[in-house]
Structure 1
Amino acid sequence: MALYRFLCALAGLCCCVGVYADTVTDSFAVTATVTSGCVLGSSGAVNGVDFGTINFGSMVDIPNHVDIASSSGAGSVIVTCTPGTSISLALDYGLHNGSSSARYVSNGTTSLAYQLYRDSSHSQVWGTVADGLAYNIASFPSATQTYTVYARLFATATMPATGTYTDTVTVTLTY
């Protein structure tokens, strides 16, 4: 009898309907939004980057204009932006009451006139948005750009006082 019960129990297990698990699926969205953006300096640079110094050199007198072109780390402006971004790149007129006619380097008591240009022929003063002399780019390219600043120290008929003459020009990038 015990064998009979065992066989019936075994038969019952064999005849049991299998247990099935149910599967449920759903989905979620993944997005990324790229907005227009720019930095002064190379990609990943932080604002406040130092572009270096445009240096006219040492001289005893200035009978003729002194023209120089900036280079990377020595006055050139480096910009990185999202491709296609419209930008305006402006240079103010410095610390010594400069204008679109002339900027000034000063040794504290004496000033010498100079100007900054966007072109090597010194015909396009690089100025501010307010005076319409900023450099405007309708669609920024896909790579970091280095913009050369062409500088001219104006000739003077008189011997300048000795000393180191300096100015600070602020670069403003608007996008």
Structure 2
Amino acid sequence: MTPFRLFFVRIAATLALGLFSALHAHATCSVVSAAAASFGTVTSFAVARQPQSTSTTSSGLSCSGALLGLFVIGDQINASITSANGGKLVGPTGDAVPYTVFADQNYSIKLDLGVTYNWASGQLLNLLGIFGGPAQTLPMYFRTVQGSNVAAGTYTDTLTIAWNWDYCSGIGVLGICLGRDRGSGTAVVPVTITVTNDCMIAAPDVNFGAAPTVASFAPVTGSVSLTCTKGMVYTVGLSSGANPHASGRRQMANGANRLQYDIFGPGAAAVWGQSANRAGSGAAADGRSAQQFPYTARLYPDQPTPAVGTYTDSVIVDVRY
């Protein structure tokens, strides 16, 4: 009888050890280098009209193991975010683009600056589902606030994220906590956006109407309107069109027939060209107001009247800064 009892005890001990191993789970966290976040390169009008979005693949917290299966009441994985520029990306002229920090890729969980958030509770808890094996880093998401009227340049901010944690790091038989993981550290996330110059151009068509002879066509007046990036100083030229004459005159075409005309810049004295007699903005643009550049278009009277028909040309508005 004795050998039988010893054999039974050994088997029971082995089974208990196997059960212990099957129910054991473990996780560890640490602070690692954070990854920079960049909104990329966008025009000033894109910044003003619609939010720009980006993210960082690492906000500085790295964890391994299945955290979601370990938490007990009172566990904490806390983070508090501070900004060097108060939640704004600041450029070389002092202009700023405000932005918001989010915990999720759907931009539904906003993280206010200076507030401590616990990822081990509430709606943030599910975001830790990315941790489940080898070490992973926790991402973070950013979105600009539309409406900023800013000059071109590179805009930057620096976020400092203070992490601290105290949670049950191992679960054994019957859900017993086998130990706690405690730690803290800070991570720095540089955030940037590069804003480029841009212009919104309004150039209505020029229509001379209909007439029986070249001499019967009256001059047409109009203006090219430009709204350009704040701080932008620029010049405006007009191309020679699609059918330029060897003399440099612009020409409208109807098949093989041509009708010579030109566009004269402010003052109507000189031909408004692409290289010569460009019109200047003068003062820097303000990013909101449209600047008008008047012109006069007229046909050259020293040409014979061509065949009856509709004559057209296309001229490019060339903005340089």
1:28 aligns with 2:109: no
Contact 2:262 2:298 in 1 (8 A): yes
Contact 2:233 2:285 in 1 (8 A): no
Give me the identity figure in percent.
27
Select which of 237, 240, 259 maps to 1:93. 240
Alignment deviations for residues 10-47 of structure 1 (CA, whole Å, 9 cap, x no partner): xxxxxxxxxxxxxxx99521233233323133xxxxxx
CA positional deviation for 1:146: 2.4
Select which of 143, 149, 154 maps to 2:295. 149
Select which of 32, 38, 46 maps to 2:198. 38
Q: Alignment length, in residue pairs?
A: 135
- Per residue, is there more strand in 1 or in 2? 2
SS for the counterpart of 1:89 is strand
1:133 aligns with 2:280: no
Contact 1:38 1:79 in 2 (8 A): no
Alignment deviations for residues 86-142 of structure 1 (CA, whole Å, 9 cap, x no partner): 10111100000247841101111211111101124x31211113xx32112342343
Separation in structure 1 between the aligned mates of residue 261 and residue 210 of structure 2, nearest angstrom: 15
Separation in structure 2 between the aligned mates of residue 157 and residue 77 of structure 1, nearest angstrom: 27
Separation in structure 2 between the aligned mates of residue 100 and residue 137 of structure 1, nearest angstrom: 29
Contact 2:151 2:231 in 1 (8 A): no
SS for the counterpart of 1:63 is helix
Separation in structure 2 between the aligned mates of residue 26 and residue 101 of structure 1, nearest angstrom: 63
> Which consecutive unaligned segments of at least 5 residues does structure 1 have?
1-24, 42-48, 71-75
| Stretches (4+) displaced over 6 A | none
CA positional deviation for 1:62: 1.7
2:227 aligned partner? 80
Residue identity opposite 1:137 in structure 2:
S
Separation in structure 2 between the aligned mates of residue 100 and residue 173 of structure 1, nearest angstrom: 24
TM-score norm. by structure 2 comes to: 0.38
SS for the counterpart of 2:215 is coil
1:46 aligned partner? none
TM-score norm. by structure 1 comes to: 0.66
Separation in structure 2 between the aligned mates of residue 127 and residue 157 of structure 1, nearest angstrom: 21
Separation in structure 2 between the aligned mates of residue 29 and residue 83 of structure 1, nearest angstrom: 25
Residue identity opposite 1:162 in structure 2:
V
Which fold has the larger relative contact order, with Cα–Cα distance below 8 Å and residues 6 or more apart in sequence? 1
> Which consecutive unaligned segments of at least 5 residues does structure 2 have?
1-79, 92-149, 153-196
The alpha-carbon distance between structure 1 residues 84 and 124, as it changes in their structure 2 partners (threshold 3 A), is: farther
RMSD: 2.6
The alpha-carbon distance between structure 1 residues 99 and 124, as it changes in their structure 2 partners (threshold 3 A), is: farther
Contact 2:237 2:317 in 1 (8 A): yes
Separation in structure 2 between the aligned mates of residue 105 and residue 78 of structure 1, nearest angstrom: 23
CA positional deviation for 1:148: 2.1
- Per residue, is there more helix in 1 or in 2? 2
The alpha-carbon distance between structure 1 residues 99 and 64, as it changes in their structure 2 partners (threshold 3 A), is: farther
CA positional deviation for 1:155: 1.6
